[in-house]
Amino acid sequence: MVLDLDNIYTYHAPKPGDPAKYEAIRGTAKVLATLINGECPDSREKSLAMTNLEEAVMWANEAIARN
């Protein structure tokens, strides 16, 4: 697998329309995070769910920024 290191390790200025996409992803993830926080008992599993949701948002935003 050949990695595009220039693309991975370069700042990507937002393109027109990108900020709205980021906000939509974060807003929708916040709705799910609120549901998880309210419905799931405090536990390792809840913590992992919240961490993985945060990671999913990060990678979705990276997909927008890099492509």
Which pLDDT score, from 0 to 100, does residue 1 have? Answer: 87
Q: Residue 30 — φ and ψ, nearest 5°?
A: -65, -35
- Domain positions in the chain: 5-66
37-66 pLDDT per residue, tens: 999 999 999 999 999 999 999 999 999 999
- Enter the pTM of the model: 0.89
9-19 pLDDT per residue, tens: 999 999 999 99
Q: Which of 14, 18, 31, 22 is nearest to 57 (CA)?
A: 22
For residues 13 and 18, give the distance between their C-alpha atoms in angstroms, rounded to a whole number.
Answer: 9
Residue 10 gets which letter from DSSP? S
How many separate helices (H) and strands (E) can be counted in the chain?
3, 0
